[in-house]
Amino acid sequence: MLSMIKKWFWYNWVIFALRTIWLGIIVIADVMYPAMIAVPFGVIILIAFLVYAIPLIVQYRKENWYLAVEVLMTGFFYLFVAYVAPALTWSFVLLVIIIGVASSRRTYMWTGISSGIIFPALNGLITNRLPYEFMFSCSFGFAIGMAFSILIESHKQGRIIQEQKQLLEQHIKQIEELTLIEERNRLSYELHDTIGHSLTSLIVGVESLRSSVPDSQIERVDKLVSIAQDSLDDIRKHFHQPSDARLNQSLSEALLELTEEFIKSTGVTVNFRVIGSETLVMQKMSFCLYRCLQESLTNAVRHGQASEISVDLYFESQQLRLQIEDNGNGLESIEFGLELKGIKERLEQLQGSLAVHSQSGQGTVVICNVPIKVEAGQGSIRLLIVDDQVMIADSLQQILSQQDNFIVGGTASDGQEALEQCERHQPDIVLMDVHMQGMNGLKTFLQMKERWPNMKIVIMTTFEDSVQAATALEHGAEGYMLKSTRPKEMMEAMKLIYSGGTWLDQSIATRVFEEMKRQREQLEKYSPNDPYGLTKREREILQLLSDGLRYKSIATKLYLSEGTVRNYCSTLYSKLGVSNREEAIELARNESIL
């Protein structure tokens, strides 16, 4: 009981105070006005205390029984008071308020009728009075309780939203850090062997010529060496440090600082404006726009010979728009060279777009658009829930349907019905139980992937099973989730999966990777010709990687989503024990896997 009280919020104490006031009224009336009570002293107090305490105990022990016990004990005590102390029947309204607070959408009909109509009507018969006055006062009390219940629910929803926001921010931050670290690791190797080596050679070569350069050109040599050294330091800083301090600022602050640094180093006038109300954006998005502005400013001065540049950052409802306009020479025809191609690829990774407008002698305008969030259809993610336990399916449907970002297109109780529902509704994500009558979840999952390769499927189960999880993920499942997952965590998982990610319950993640390793070792032991245990699909993707195709091209060729191809590649790299595409291709060629 004490542990429950520690978790109480202000509204719990208000209800407790109301109940205590009611008990105090009964005790005071029995002590100060014993003539108005037709039973011995202490009897009504004892019964009132039981009505006061028992519902609280039941609420702590068996919460599902609480409301029924509250209504029955309160109602019968009300009738008892009508016999022995009619003057105290008005106090029943206080308990009706408590009943109204405890009622929900599923229960308010029977609790409202019982406490607002039935018991007041019986009280009228007992006291030989018209029941309308009792009905009105009790119904009014119940309405007050329901209104207070709505206020409490609003407070709970606000608290849940705040918790979800904090969890989501933490989750997004972790994903961003891992993604950026992975990208830096990949690029650091490439830059070390290419640009880094070239810059180092340039510095050494120029320094070797210093003795043969006239004194009048020494300053120029120093400047060239300094530029090369600064470029090398900049590469090392951005790809070997865990984070860029400038990206810890807000987006507008980071871009403003960049423009100020650019003005100091070049002397070019740059006017920076923020239009609209700034909102927090993901670090990856900030990094992308930061690089886009950096390269656009450089291009404007280097190629366009611009003397004045305008930079406008628009915060719109659905997207961010960065517009860079210069007064340079302009271009007769726009060719997506290395710089523009780099900007375009960065934006496309965030499902953004690049537009360039230029005319000879009239400057250039570069417009970068990035969607703030990805939306499906009319702004919602379409779901299909497959579970042969009706209660679980209905509960999930009720939870997810109440969210603005989700539409539950239907439920299915077996594999065959699930296939029919997929054919009819074409959901974005299927939440499917593993164990079902008839065609089980894994068999149904394989048929779904064969017929609708772009459909995202999340396997659900009651108990943790690393073998099932490893099998499902290896065959292209986008998620493996326990039914005990908290609703708010489940909803964030659905959003992550819809945007192209993969979800694996953290309680089982370590065992899944161990199981995948064990399966690989078994395959190596019993199948020496196939030591890595690659599936037919993984071999097919490995061959396409070897042919030089990118993830997007592979997805188009195999009729898969790009996220599914990435999942396949992650599993493929894990089996081969490599970290990237190049290492996988080299290993496949050296060991004649293909």
| Residue 493: per-residue pLDDT | 80
- Burial of 451-477, coded b for 16+ CB within 10 Å and e otherwise, reads ebeebbbbbbbeeebbebbbbbbbbbb
Beta bridge partners of 353: 369
| Residue 376: per-residue pLDDT | 39
d(CA 470, CA 327): 57
Predicted confidence (pLDDT) at residue 167 exceeds the cutoff of 60:
no
| pLDDT band per the 50, 70, 90 thresholds, residue 272 | very high
Mean pLDDT of 410-419: 87
The count of other CB atoms within 10 Å of the CB of residue 141 is 21
- Burial of 395-411, coded b for 16+ CB within 10 Å and e otherwise, reads ebbeebeebeebbbbbb
Predicted confidence (pLDDT) at residue 373 exceeds the cutoff of 60:
no
Predicted confidence (pLDDT) at residue 9 exceeds the cutoff of 80:
no
| List of residues 6+ apart from 539 with CB closer than 8 A | 593, 594
Predicted confidence (pLDDT) at residue 591 exceeds the cutoff of 80:
no
Mean pLDDT of 133-155: 84
| Residue 482: per-residue pLDDT | 76
Predicted confidence (pLDDT) at residue 179 exceeds the cutoff of 70:
no
Mean pLDDT of 295-302: 79
Range scoring the smallest mean pLDDT among 157-171, 249-263, 292-306, 529-543: 157-171
Contact 96, 22 (CB under 8 A): no
H or E element that contains 433: strand 429-433
| Residue 165: per-residue pLDDT | 62
d(CA 486, CA 470): 22
Predicted confidence (pLDDT) at residue 455 exceeds the cutoff of 80:
yes
| pLDDT band per the 50, 70, 90 thresholds, residue 323 | very high
d(CA 9, CA 11): 6
The mean pLDDT of the chain is 76
Mean pLDDT of 143-166: 76
pLDDT tens per residue, range 231-256 = 766 665 554 444 444 444 678 888 88
| pLDDT band per the 50, 70, 90 thresholds, residue 295 | confident
Sheet of 364-371: strand order equals 269-275, 308-315, 319-326, 364-371, 353-358
Exposure on the CB side of residue 242, measured as CA atoms within 13 A: 4
Predicted confidence (pLDDT) at residue 312 exceeds the cutoff of 70:
yes
| Residue 182: per-residue pLDDT | 56
Classify residue 150 as exposed, middle or buried by CB count within 10 Å of its CB (0-12, 13-18, 19+): exposed
| pLDDT band per the 50, 70, 90 thresholds, residue 484 | low
Q: What is the percent of the chain with per-residue pLDDT over 90, rounded to a whole number? A: 3
| Residue 451: per-residue pLDDT | 85
Mean pLDDT of 316-331: 85
| pLDDT band per the 50, 70, 90 thresholds, residue 171 | very low
Reduce the DSSP state of residue 384 to 3 states and report it: strand
| List of residues 6+ apart from 575 with CB closer than 8 A | 516, 520, 532, 533, 534, 538
H or E element that contains 479: strand 479-482
Predicted confidence (pLDDT) at residue 587 exceeds the cutoff of 70:
yes
d(CA 538, CA 547): 14
Q: Record the tokens describing residue 292, joined without a space.
A: 């886009």
Between 32 and 430, whose confidence is greater?
Answer: 430
Predicted confidence (pLDDT) at residue 283 exceeds the cutoff of 70:
no
| Residue 193: per-residue pLDDT | 47
Mean pLDDT of 363-389: 75
Q: How far apart are the first and last CA of the chain?
A: 66
| pLDDT band per the 50, 70, 90 thresholds, residue 133 | confident
Residue 79: alpha-carbon gap to chain centroid = 52
| pLDDT band per the 50, 70, 90 thresholds, residue 341 | confident
Between 293 and 560, whose confidence is greater?
Answer: 293
Predicted confidence (pLDDT) at residue 526 exceeds the cutoff of 50:
no
Mean pLDDT of 333-349: 70
Residue 95: alpha-carbon gap to chain centroid = 41
pLDDT tens per residue, range 86-100 = 777 788 888 888 888
d(CA 241, CA 243): 6
Contact 480, 468 (CB under 8 A): yes
Q: What is the percent of the chain with per-residue pLDDT over 70, rounded to a whole number? A: 76
Q: Record the tokens describing residue 531, joined without a space.
A: 């030591």
d(CA 442, CA 440): 6
The count of other CB atoms within 10 Å of the CB of residue 282 is 19
Q: Record the tokens describing residue 359, joined without a space.
A: 């005319």
Closest CA to 41 of 97, 89, 84: 84
Predicted confidence (pLDDT) at residue 114 exceeds the cutoff of 80:
yes
pLDDT tens per residue, range 488-522 = 777 878 887 887 777 776 666 666 666 666 665 65
| Residue 313: per-residue pLDDT | 92
| Residue 581: per-residue pLDDT | 85
